[in-house]
Structure 1
Amino acid sequence: MDPRLSLVTLGVTDLDRSIRFYRDGLALPMRERDPDSDVAFFELAGAWLSLYPRTLLAEDATVPEDGSGFEGVTLAHNVASPETVDDVLAEAEAAGGDVVKPGQEVFWGGYSGYFADPDGHLWEVAWNPAFDLD
Protein backbone atom coordinates (compact mmCIF):
# COMPACT_ATOMS: atom_id res chain seq x y z
CA MET A 1 0.00 0.00 0.00
CA ASP A 2 1.30 3.46 -0.85
CA PRO A 3 1.77 5.69 2.22
CA ARG A 4 -0.90 8.25 1.44
CA LEU A 5 -4.42 9.20 2.45
CA SER A 6 -6.50 10.51 -0.42
CA LEU A 7 -10.09 10.69 0.86
CA VAL A 8 -11.83 10.80 4.24
CA THR A 9 -15.58 10.16 4.17
CA LEU A 10 -17.73 11.19 7.11
CA GLY A 11 -21.09 9.49 7.58
CA VAL A 12 -23.58 12.26 8.38
CA THR A 13 -27.20 12.30 9.50
CA ASP A 14 -28.22 15.51 7.69
CA LEU A 15 -26.25 16.14 4.49
CA ASP A 16 -27.52 19.70 3.96
CA ARG A 17 -26.68 20.70 7.55
CA SER A 18 -23.20 19.21 7.22
CA ILE A 19 -22.61 20.97 3.90
CA ARG A 20 -23.55 24.28 5.53
CA PHE A 21 -21.16 23.56 8.42
CA TYR A 22 -18.15 22.70 6.26
CA ARG A 23 -18.81 24.97 3.24
CA ASP A 24 -20.41 28.02 4.81
CA GLY A 25 -19.17 27.85 8.38
CA LEU A 26 -15.61 26.61 7.91
CA ALA A 27 -15.25 27.91 4.33
CA LEU A 28 -13.90 24.66 2.88
CA PRO A 29 -13.95 24.72 -0.93
CA MET A 30 -16.71 22.40 -2.14
CA ARG A 31 -16.71 20.71 -5.52
CA GLU A 32 -19.76 21.56 -7.62
CA ARG A 33 -22.52 18.98 -7.15
CA ASP A 34 -25.98 18.12 -8.38
CA PRO A 35 -28.48 19.30 -5.71
CA ASP A 36 -30.02 15.79 -5.66
CA SER A 37 -26.67 14.05 -5.11
CA ASP A 38 -26.13 12.01 -1.94
CA VAL A 39 -22.48 13.07 -1.62
CA ALA A 40 -20.48 16.28 -1.24
CA PHE A 41 -16.73 16.64 -1.82
CA PHE A 42 -14.38 19.25 -0.37
CA GLU A 43 -10.88 19.75 -1.72
CA LEU A 44 -8.22 19.90 0.98
CA ALA A 45 -4.48 20.36 0.64
CA GLY A 46 -3.33 16.92 -0.51
CA ALA A 47 -6.60 15.05 0.10
CA TRP A 48 -10.40 15.20 -0.17
CA LEU A 49 -13.11 15.24 2.48
CA SER A 50 -16.47 13.77 1.53
CA LEU A 51 -19.82 13.80 3.30
CA TYR A 52 -22.21 10.91 2.72
CA PRO A 53 -25.37 9.82 4.57
CA ARG A 54 -24.42 7.61 7.52
CA THR A 55 -27.02 4.96 6.64
CA LEU A 56 -25.77 4.68 3.04
CA LEU A 57 -22.12 4.62 4.12
CA ALA A 58 -22.81 1.79 6.58
CA GLU A 59 -24.74 -0.08 3.89
CA ASP A 60 -21.86 0.35 1.44
CA ALA A 61 -19.38 -0.97 4.02
CA THR A 62 -21.81 -3.76 5.00
CA VAL A 63 -21.74 -2.83 8.72
CA PRO A 64 -24.54 -1.84 11.14
CA GLU A 65 -25.15 1.92 11.16
CA ASP A 66 -26.34 2.18 14.75
CA GLY A 67 -22.89 2.77 16.27
CA SER A 68 -22.71 5.42 18.97
CA GLY A 69 -20.22 7.16 21.20
CA PHE A 70 -16.54 7.55 20.46
CA GLU A 71 -15.69 5.79 17.22
CA GLY A 72 -11.95 5.68 17.92
CA VAL A 73 -11.07 8.21 15.20
CA THR A 74 -10.28 11.91 15.24
CA LEU A 75 -9.30 14.19 12.40
CA ALA A 76 -6.51 16.70 12.92
CA HIS A 77 -5.89 20.17 11.55
CA ASN A 78 -2.45 21.58 12.37
CA VAL A 79 -1.94 25.34 12.42
CA ALA A 80 0.97 27.74 12.71
CA SER A 81 0.36 29.19 16.21
CA PRO A 82 -1.50 28.69 19.48
CA GLU A 83 -3.59 31.78 18.69
CA THR A 84 -4.72 30.18 15.44
CA VAL A 85 -5.90 27.11 17.39
CA ASP A 86 -8.25 29.36 19.36
CA ASP A 87 -9.35 31.18 16.20
CA VAL A 88 -10.25 27.93 14.41
CA LEU A 89 -12.11 26.60 17.45
CA ALA A 90 -14.12 29.84 17.57
CA GLU A 91 -14.81 29.57 13.83
CA ALA A 92 -16.07 26.00 14.25
CA GLU A 93 -18.30 27.01 17.16
CA ALA A 94 -19.74 29.96 15.21
CA ALA A 95 -20.48 27.56 12.35
CA GLY A 96 -22.55 25.31 14.63
CA GLY A 97 -19.87 22.97 15.96
CA ASP A 98 -19.31 22.18 19.63
CA VAL A 99 -15.97 22.94 21.28
CA VAL A 100 -15.43 19.83 23.41
CA LYS A 101 -11.94 20.77 24.64
CA PRO A 102 -10.84 24.41 24.61
CA GLY A 103 -7.35 25.21 23.35
CA GLN A 104 -4.73 24.52 26.00
CA GLU A 105 -1.08 23.61 26.49
CA VAL A 106 -0.67 19.84 26.17
CA PHE A 107 1.76 17.28 27.58
CA TRP A 108 3.70 16.88 24.32
CA GLY A 109 4.73 20.54 24.29
CA GLY A 110 2.18 22.01 21.91
CA TYR A 111 -1.23 23.62 22.17
CA SER A 112 -4.48 22.01 21.04
CA GLY A 113 -8.22 21.74 21.44
CA TYR A 114 -11.08 19.73 19.94
CA PHE A 115 -14.40 20.50 18.31
CA ALA A 116 -17.19 18.20 17.18
CA ASP A 117 -19.02 18.78 13.90
CA PRO A 118 -22.83 18.55 13.84
CA ASP A 119 -22.61 14.72 13.70
CA GLY A 120 -20.10 14.47 16.54
CA HIS A 121 -17.01 13.82 14.39
CA LEU A 122 -14.07 15.03 16.45
CA TRP A 123 -11.49 17.42 15.00
CA GLU A 124 -8.30 18.26 16.86
CA VAL A 125 -6.90 21.70 16.10
CA ALA A 126 -3.24 21.74 17.08
CA TRP A 127 -0.10 23.82 17.07
CA ASN A 128 2.92 21.54 17.24
CA PRO A 129 6.27 23.31 17.64
CA ALA A 130 7.98 20.30 16.02
CA PHE A 131 5.96 20.63 12.77
CA ASP A 132 7.13 23.06 10.12
CA LEU A 133 4.04 24.01 8.15
CA ASP A 134 5.87 26.15 5.58
Structure 2
Amino acid sequence: MAGNGHRRLRTASVFFGLDGIVLGLFGRKALAQDAGLSGAPADKPAFSGVALAYNVSSQVAVDETIAFAERCGATLVKPGEAVFWGGYSGYFADPEGHLWEVAYNPFSPLDEHGHMTLPE
Protein backbone atom coordinates (compact mmCIF):
# COMPACT_ATOMS: atom_id res chain seq x y z
CA MET A 1 0.00 0.00 0.00
CA ALA A 2 1.17 3.47 -0.77
CA GLY A 3 1.24 5.99 2.06
CA ASN A 4 -1.97 7.69 0.88
CA GLY A 5 -4.04 4.51 1.34
CA HIS A 6 -4.24 3.73 -2.38
CA ARG A 7 -2.92 0.53 -3.85
CA ARG A 8 -0.21 0.83 -6.41
CA LEU A 9 -1.14 -0.88 -9.65
CA ARG A 10 1.29 -3.28 -11.23
CA THR A 11 2.52 -1.93 -14.52
CA ALA A 12 4.42 -5.04 -15.59
CA SER A 13 4.13 -5.88 -19.23
CA VAL A 14 5.61 -8.33 -21.70
CA PHE A 15 6.10 -8.00 -25.45
CA PHE A 16 6.40 -10.69 -28.11
CA GLY A 17 7.74 -9.97 -31.61
CA LEU A 18 5.56 -11.77 -34.18
CA ASP A 19 6.90 -11.27 -37.72
CA GLY A 20 6.08 -7.61 -38.24
CA ILE A 21 3.74 -7.08 -35.29
CA VAL A 22 4.25 -6.99 -31.55
CA LEU A 23 1.88 -8.56 -29.01
CA GLY A 24 1.98 -6.71 -25.70
CA LEU A 25 0.28 -8.07 -22.60
CA PHE A 26 -0.59 -5.84 -19.64
CA GLY A 27 -2.57 -6.32 -16.46
CA ARG A 28 -6.24 -5.33 -16.84
CA LYS A 29 -6.18 -2.70 -14.09
CA ALA A 30 -2.96 -1.13 -15.35
CA LEU A 31 -4.31 -0.97 -18.91
CA ALA A 32 -7.60 0.57 -17.77
CA GLN A 33 -5.71 3.13 -15.68
CA ASP A 34 -3.43 3.98 -18.62
CA ALA A 35 -6.48 4.58 -20.85
CA GLY A 36 -8.17 6.71 -18.18
CA LEU A 37 -10.93 4.12 -17.64
CA SER A 38 -11.91 2.37 -14.44
CA GLY A 39 -13.01 -0.85 -16.11
CA ALA A 40 -16.54 -0.39 -14.75
CA PRO A 41 -19.61 -1.06 -16.92
CA ALA A 42 -20.45 2.67 -16.76
CA ASP A 43 -17.33 3.46 -18.80
CA LYS A 44 -18.06 4.57 -22.32
CA PRO A 45 -16.79 2.64 -24.13
CA ALA A 46 -17.21 -0.30 -21.77
CA PHE A 47 -13.73 -1.52 -20.98
CA SER A 48 -13.34 -5.16 -21.99
CA GLY A 49 -9.75 -5.46 -20.82
CA VAL A 50 -8.41 -5.37 -24.37
CA ALA A 51 -6.94 -2.50 -26.40
CA LEU A 52 -5.39 -2.62 -29.84
CA ALA A 53 -2.31 -0.47 -30.27
CA TYR A 54 -1.07 1.26 -33.39
CA ASN A 55 2.52 2.48 -33.20
CA VAL A 56 3.59 5.52 -35.20
CA SER A 57 6.87 7.33 -35.82
CA SER A 58 6.39 10.54 -33.79
CA GLN A 59 4.34 12.41 -31.21
CA VAL A 60 2.82 14.50 -34.01
CA ALA A 61 1.75 11.29 -35.78
CA VAL A 62 -0.06 10.16 -32.59
CA ASP A 63 -2.13 13.34 -32.54
CA GLU A 64 -2.74 13.24 -36.31
CA THR A 65 -3.84 9.59 -36.20
CA ILE A 66 -6.25 10.18 -33.31
CA ALA A 67 -7.69 13.25 -35.07
CA PHE A 68 -8.17 11.19 -38.26
CA ALA A 69 -9.91 8.44 -36.27
CA GLU A 70 -12.25 11.04 -34.74
CA ARG A 71 -13.08 12.45 -38.19
CA CYS A 72 -13.98 8.89 -39.22
CA GLY A 73 -16.40 8.40 -36.31
CA ALA A 74 -14.20 7.35 -33.40
CA THR A 75 -14.67 8.77 -29.90
CA LEU A 76 -11.72 10.35 -28.12
CA VAL A 77 -11.05 8.52 -24.85
CA LYS A 78 -7.72 10.08 -23.83
CA PRO A 79 -5.82 12.68 -25.86
CA GLY A 80 -2.18 12.13 -26.72
CA GLU A 81 0.17 12.90 -23.84
CA ALA A 82 3.63 12.09 -22.52
CA VAL A 83 3.54 8.82 -20.58
CA PHE A 84 5.54 7.52 -17.63
CA TRP A 85 7.64 5.10 -19.68
CA GLY A 86 9.06 7.87 -21.86
CA GLY A 87 6.80 7.73 -24.90
CA TYR A 88 3.64 9.49 -26.00
CA SER A 89 0.19 7.94 -26.46
CA GLY A 90 -3.54 8.49 -26.54
CA TYR A 91 -6.69 6.39 -26.86
CA PHE A 92 -9.87 6.38 -28.92
CA ALA A 93 -12.83 4.02 -29.24
CA ASP A 94 -13.92 2.97 -32.71
CA PRO A 95 -17.62 3.19 -33.65
CA GLU A 96 -18.20 -0.32 -32.28
CA GLY A 97 -16.64 0.63 -28.93
CA HIS A 98 -13.29 -1.17 -29.34
CA LEU A 99 -10.46 0.63 -27.54
CA TRP A 100 -7.36 1.65 -29.54
CA GLU A 101 -4.10 3.12 -28.31
CA VAL A 102 -1.98 5.18 -30.69
CA ALA A 103 1.59 5.31 -29.42
CA TYR A 104 5.02 6.67 -30.19
CA ASN A 105 7.79 4.69 -28.49
CA PRO A 106 11.25 6.23 -28.95
CA PHE A 107 12.80 3.05 -27.51
CA SER A 108 11.23 0.75 -30.14
CA PRO A 109 11.54 2.54 -33.48
CA LEU A 110 9.65 1.45 -36.57
CA ASP A 111 11.67 -0.40 -39.21
CA GLU A 112 11.77 0.43 -42.94
CA HIS A 113 8.40 -1.35 -43.39
CA GLY A 114 6.71 0.53 -40.53
CA HIS A 115 6.88 -2.47 -38.18
CA MET A 116 7.66 -1.94 -34.51
CA THR A 117 11.04 -3.28 -33.43
CA LEU A 118 11.77 -4.54 -29.95
CA PRO A 119 15.01 -3.61 -28.19
CA GLU A 120 17.53 -6.44 -28.01
Which range, TM-score by smaller chain?
0.5 to 0.7
Mark the CA change 1:103 to 1:4 in structure 2 (over 3 Å): closer, same or farther. Answer: closer
| Aligned-CA RMSD value | 2.3
Separation of aligned partners in 2, 1:128 and 1:5:
18
Give a deviation string over 1:20-78, Cα, whole Å, max 9, x none. Answer: xxxxxxxxxxxxxxxxxxxxxxxxx66xxxxxxxxxxxxxxxxxxxxx62110000000
Q: Aligned residues, how many?
A: 74
Deviation at 1:5, TM superposition (A): 6.4
Separation of aligned partners in 2, 1:4 and 1:131:
11
Structure 1 partner of 2:7: none
1:1-134 equivalences in 2 (<5 Å):
69-134=46-111
Runs ≥4 in structure 1, deviation > 2 angstroms? 3-6
Separation of aligned partners in 2, 1:71 and 1:98:
16
TM-score, scaled relative to structure 2: 0.56
Give a deviation string over 1:73-130, Cα, whole Å, max 9, x none. Answer: 0000000000000000000000000111000001111000001001110000000111
Larger Rg: 1
Q: Percent identity?
A: 59
Report the 3-state secondary structure (helix = DSSP H, G, I; strand = E; otherwise coil) of the residue aligned with 2:109: coil
